[in-house]
Structure formats: structure tokens, C-alpha cells
A and B are shown apart, each in its own frame.
Chain A
Amino acid sequence: MSERLRITGGRVYDPRHAIDGAIRDICIEDGRVVAALPGDAPTLDAAGLVVMPGAVDIHSHVAGPKVNLARRLEPERRTVPTVPDTGRLYTLLGYTTVFDAAVPLLGARHAHLELQDTPLVDKGFYVLLGNDEFVLAALEDGSDDAVRDVLGWAVRASRAYGVKVVNPGGGAAWKAARGTPGLDDALPGRRVTPRRILTALARAADALALPHPMHLHCSNLGLAGNATTTLDTIAALEGRRVHLAHLQFHVYGGEPGGRPTSRARELSAALAAHANVSADVGQVMFGPATTMTADARVGEMLHDLTGRKWVDADLELEGGCGVVPYEYRERNVVHAMQWAAGLELLLLSPDPWRLVLSTDHPNGGTFLSYPRLLRLLMDRAYRDEQIARVHPQGLEGTALRDGLAREYSLYEVAIVTRAAPARLLGLEHKGHLGVGADADVALYAPDANLETMFTTPRHVLKAGRRVAEDGAIREETWGRTLQATPPFDPAVERALGRVLAEAGSLSLEDYVVGADEIGAAR
């Protein structure tokens, strides 16, 4: 028996199809949008409501070893929700697809265990490469084809959706000698440079035709002067496709070792000039946060700042990770600058299809602050009120001082939270409401307070099921795990096996996640 539903009379925002608030019916059958339904199909009255595709989070941290360490680290404040709550809370905001941005090969099985227990949303992750022995050995001894095959194997073995590169080569260098190599510095004891890692992996991701390009966390995150690194990185990619993660953390001016300032304007211009580059913003929101990153250097830096808890972990043959509880404060000059830099990027954005929303949950703040972020973008008066509250020195030199007037429209919001992330991810059936799309839909009641509007959708549908209504879960369904299936030459396994035999504590088979290890646990 097919399940049908007609959503009637709503104002539809579907940027992929250039629908900007037109009154349309959306017809759903068996979890997909269809062109039409028989007249007797059940209806959901959406008159007066805003209808959007379910939102897609392109960069979050929701599953895997470091996320779970963070949960255990903070029983007293719980910034990082449990796995069941992650699925529920995302859904209650109208998000129906979520990607974890950083899972090491060795943590893939663990990440899938958590994804199996994550209800409601569709989900997946990007596997970490670029500081590991597998890629470094291939780069040193082999050809670009070898790197491509390592990448193909890694995505298949970990059942990942894409590939994430964090501080290319820098993680390995930090681990070996706490060094921070420049783009053309050879890593300690190696002939490989960050530039080589970067370009080879970007090329490999393209060669394998992964649906999402290389997802890159640039070097020198959080450090004064890192805007130069980011600009150099964009130049080094020579027009190859790349997605820059949490761009806000990489746009700082100032002297190395000094107080960072914002160079968001320049990065915005660079984004305009490079159509091959997309990014998510990594907005900082005031309040509690938990920093968790495969960039272990950042963990150490933040621990030195806070002097409190810190999890610092090394992973054999790969990098490691750092977890540090954090708090962003309005009256802290650096935090104010970070907050402003994110808003600058969004308000100066040359193309909403290439700069999308994220808080790098929970690094810049939790995903629960998305509605507040949307209000900041859409409501200038509210934004000005907030601007008046933050440390004034933090705003010096930022475009916020110029009185940026831009207010995002509902149409643009639908782009940066839905249509664009889906397109950047190569998700053909997400982020729009055309025929054949997954019937993931969020319906909002307009409200003068846009934070209120986006905090509690009136209805959320997942694969055609009415899963949430007015802030309560109505039915707990189970989403899919999304994975890419690039080809690779099995011969690469011999080389990988050699690396493991020399320096690992597991066999190659131990790295391979089985088909039976994904999908709903129950």
C-alpha cells in the first residue's frame, strides 16, 4: 500500500527550481515527491505556512570516538547531545540530513555504530585522510594513481560519503615534533609537503568522481594571520574543486602569535573570484561550545587558554584529536571578532550557493543555535542590537562597522540551509521539492521573531512521514546512511597491508566496515 500525502496551500521555497514563495501543493507518495496524486489522497493543510525542503547540515560533529569522548567529558553541562537526541533535536529544527565532518579510518566502525542509533535523519560522514601513513607513504613512493586508490579504498572500507582533509600534513608534523609546516615545508623526516598532499587528494577526489569534493580544514586554524594560509591554499588548488570547512576560523589577520583580526572581506573576494571553491561558514555563537577537532594542535592551544579539561588522543598511523570544552563570550574581544567575521562572510557572500550555514557543531556553538543565526542574518534591527552588546574592539576593521544592511530573504535561507548544501554534496534527491526528491519537508509558521519561527517548525516530514509537529516528535523513524562507492584498484591493499604490518596493531580486514554494520540498529 502506498503512503500518500498532499501538502496544500503552502508558500513554497524551492530555490533549485527557482520557486520563491509561490503557493503550491506538494504531492508525496512512498517517501518521494510526485507530480500529482488522486483527489482522495490525505491532505496536510499548509495554508499560511512556509514550506521548505528538509535542511541539510554539511558540516557537523555528531558521531564517532571524539564526539563520544566529549559527551563523557562534560556530564555537568552536556553541550553534546546523545545520539538519540541528536537525531531528534535536528529533526525538531527541520534538519533531515546531517554529515559528520571528521571520522578517522580507525574510528569508522564506531561512527557507524552511533549512526545506526541515530534516529530520523539521513546521515553520513567524511573519512579523514592527509595525515596518515597510507596517503603519506603513497605520496612518497607512488604515483598520484596510488593516492587515488588509497582514497577509493578508504572511502569504501569506512563506508564514508566523502573525504576530509584536516590541516594537511600539519597533523602529522605536530604529532612528530609539534611543528607547523608551511605549504612548501617538507614534513619532519619526509619528502612530502602540505601542498603535495593537498593537490593530490583534491585531484584524487575529482578522479574518483566523489559526489562531494575534498572537504578541507585548512592549516593554522584559529591563528592570527591564517588568512594568508587560506588564500595560498586556494591558489595552490589551481582551480580544482574544494569545500573549505568552517571558513570563519581561517580568515584572520594580525601578527602570528598576536591577537587575530578579521580579513573576511579579502576571503569573501577570493570566494567570488574562485568558482571552484565552496565553504561553510563555521559561525561562532555566544554561549557554551565544545571544541573537538582532528587538528590536535588546536586542542592544545585551547587547553592552554582555558587551563581546564582536555582530551588529547593519538591515533596510530593517522592523526589524533583534541576535545576542549569552551565558552564564547560577548565581552571577549577575540570571540567578538570571530562572531563578527562569520557574519561578515555571510553578509558579504558573493554567492549563497557556495557559502552555506554551519556552526561547526559543537565547535562554534551547537546546532541548536541555527535559528538564532538565521535571525541575525534576516533581521537587521536584531543584528544591530547584538552588535551593540559585543566587545567593540572585536568589531574594529570588520565590515559590520560599515553598517551592512543585507537581510537574507526566505529564499536565500532556503539556499544556504538546503538547496546549496545538497548541491555541494551531490545529493540529487535532497534540498529541493521537485518530482523525485526525497519527501523531507519542513513547514514553518511565519513569525515576526524569526528565531521563534525557525526554532519550532509546525510540521516536519521525513521520507513522507510526519515525524515532528510543534516541537514534539510524533513518530521516530529511521533514516539512511549515505555512502559513496568509488572504484579502486584492489592492488592497493598490498601496499596498505605493508604499512599496517610495519606499524599497526590491526589487520587490513579490521579496517573494513561490513555492509551489515550500517543501517538502523533496531
Chain B
Amino acid sequence: MTENSINIVLVAALVLAALWTVMTARTLRSAIGLAITSAILAIIMFRLASPLAAVFELSVCAGLIPVIFISTIGLTARVEEESMAAKQREKLRKYAALLVLVLVVAGVLVTMHLPNDFAAPQGPVPTESPQVVMWDLRHVDLIGQIGVLAAGAFGVVILVKVSKRA
């Protein structure tokens, strides 16, 4: 198989995983579908020469976030699960339109071509490694990340902790 065919298969798999994620009746399976989608995305990232991002994607998005979702489902959705299962048939009907839509849009997009009417980036290709970029060149982003994580942490403290206590 050529490189391109593999890419096409991977993209198709990604879209199918996403479709399954939203179409499956049980929320738990949906969370697992998200994990699978993330994993496929991680593979794509590997293939797109972005191993570091792929590792993060695999560990955090395919690992941590589904776990968060699953534990949330565990805390909330026990009642939901049964009612959702009962509505499975209705649900399929609801998402049948999505299938058609995805096929049509995919067809349209494949036949269309992105116009090549812009220049490639000028200047030399930077040679720094992602680590250097991240740790040495984008300190401002790092401070932003600290802020984001702090906000998330306070969110947990305020929302989750109190929620559990109640």
C-alpha cells in the first residue's frame, strides 16, 4: 500500500470512529468511541511526523479524558443508560441523516480541490525540536498553560469536591 492509501484508510477510520462515537446508544460506549477516535488521531499524528503530540494525544486524550467521562457516567448516568437503550431505534433514525450527510459532504469535498493560490511560508525552515520550541521559545504560552491548569484545578476544587460532598 502506498503512503497515501494508508492515510486515506486512517482518515476513513477516524471518521467512522467519530460516527460510532456519536451514534452508539450507550454513553459509555460513546466515551470509548472517543478514546478510539483519539487513538486513531494519535496514529495519524505519528504519520504526520509529530510524535510528541501523538504521545500526548494517546496518553491524555485517549487515556485521561475518556476516564474522566466514564467516571462521570458512573456518577450520573445509571438511570440514563436504560432509558437511552430503550430509545436506540429512535436514535438510529435520528442519526441516519448524519450518515447520509457525511457521505454527501465527503463526496463533495473529495471532488473539490483546495485552490492552490497562496504562497508557501517564506524564510528558512526552522530546525528546533518541539521541546525547544515549547520550553525555550514559547514561555508566554507556558504561563498561559499554567493559568489554564490553575483554572481547571480551581474548577475541580469548587465544582467536583463540593458536588461529591453534597
Bind each other: no
